[in-house]
Structure 1
Amino acid sequence: MTIVVVRPEPDCSQLVDQLAQHKLAALPCPLVSFAPGRDLPSLPALLSSLPAGSVLVAVSPRAVAFTHQALQQQGLAWPRHCHYVAVGQRTANEWQQVANQPVQYPAREDSEGMLSLAPFNVIKGKQVVILRGESGRDMMGQTLQSQGGQVHYCEAYLRQWAIEPLVSQVVSWPQDTITTVVVTSGQQLAHFDQLITLSGQHWLRQCRILVPSKRIQDQATALGFDTITTVDSVANDALVNTLLRLRKTGLSDD
Structure 2
Amino acid sequence: MPRRVILTRPIAQAEPLAGRIRALGREVEVLPLLEISPLPDQAPLRDALAGLTSYQLVAFVSPNAIEAAFGHIPAWPPGLQAAVVGEASRQALLAQGIPASHIASPADPAHSDTEHLLQALDLPALRGARVLIVRGESGRELMADAFRAAGAEVTVLPAYRRAVPQLTPALAERLTALAAAPADWIVTSSEALRGLVGLLNALNTSTIVALLQHHHLIVPHSRIAETARDLGFLHVTLTGSGDERVLAALQSRP
Instruction: Give the TM-score, by structure 2 length.
Output: 0.82
Structure 1 spans left out of the alignment, 5+ residues: 248-254
1:223 paired residue among 231, 237, 252: 231
Contact kept in structure 2, 1:3 and 1:178, CA below 8 Å: no
Percent identity, aligned pairs only? 23
2:118 paired residue among 111, 115, 121: 115
Contact kept in structure 2, 1:87 and 1:109, CA below 8 Å: yes
Following the alignment from structure 1 to structure 2, what is the Cα–Cα distance between the partners of residues 153 and 134? 10
Structure 1's 118 and 146: CA in aligned 2 closer, same or farther, altered over 3 A? closer
2:87 paired residue among 89, 92, 102: 89
Residue 197 of structure 1 corresponds to: 201
Structure 2 spans left out of the alignment, 5+ residues: none
Residue 246 of structure 1 corresponds to: 253
Contact kept in structure 1, 2:184 and 2:217, CA below 8 Å: yes
1:211 paired residue among 219, 230, 234: 219
Contact kept in structure 2, 1:83 and 1:119, CA below 8 Å: no
Residue 67 of structure 1 corresponds to: 69
1:168 aligns with 2:166: no
Give the SS at the match of 1:56. Answer: strand
Residue 132 of structure 1 corresponds to: 135
Structure 1's 120 and 167: CA in aligned 2 closer, same or farther, altered over 3 A? farther
Contact kept in structure 1, 2:53 and 2:77, CA below 8 Å: no
Contact kept in structure 2, 1:58 and 1:85, CA below 8 Å: yes
1:181 paired residue among 168, 171, 185: 185
Give the SS at the match of 2:37. Answer: strand
Contact kept in structure 2, 1:52 and 1:81, CA below 8 Å: no
Instruction: Give the TM-score, by structure 1 length.
Output: 0.82
Give the SS at the match of 2:192. Answer: helix
Residue 105 of structure 1 corresponds to: 105
| RMSD (Å), alpha carbons | 2.5
Count of aligned positions: 241
Summarize deviations over 1:89-119 as a string: whole Å, max 9, x none.
3322322343544222222211112112234
Contact kept in structure 2, 1:4 and 1:178, CA below 8 Å: no
Contact kept in structure 2, 1:134 and 1:158, CA below 8 Å: yes
Following the alignment from structure 2 to structure 1, what is the Cα–Cα distance between the partners of residues 245 and 236? 16
Residue 19 of structure 1 corresponds to: 21
Structure 1's 41 and 80: CA in aligned 2 closer, same or farther, altered over 3 A? farther
Contact kept in structure 1, 2:9 and 2:31, CA below 8 Å: yes
**Residue 121 (structure 1) shift:** 4.9
Give the SS at the match of 2:6. Answer: strand
Summarize deviations over 1:203-223 as a string: whole Å, max 9, x none.
101222122211222222221
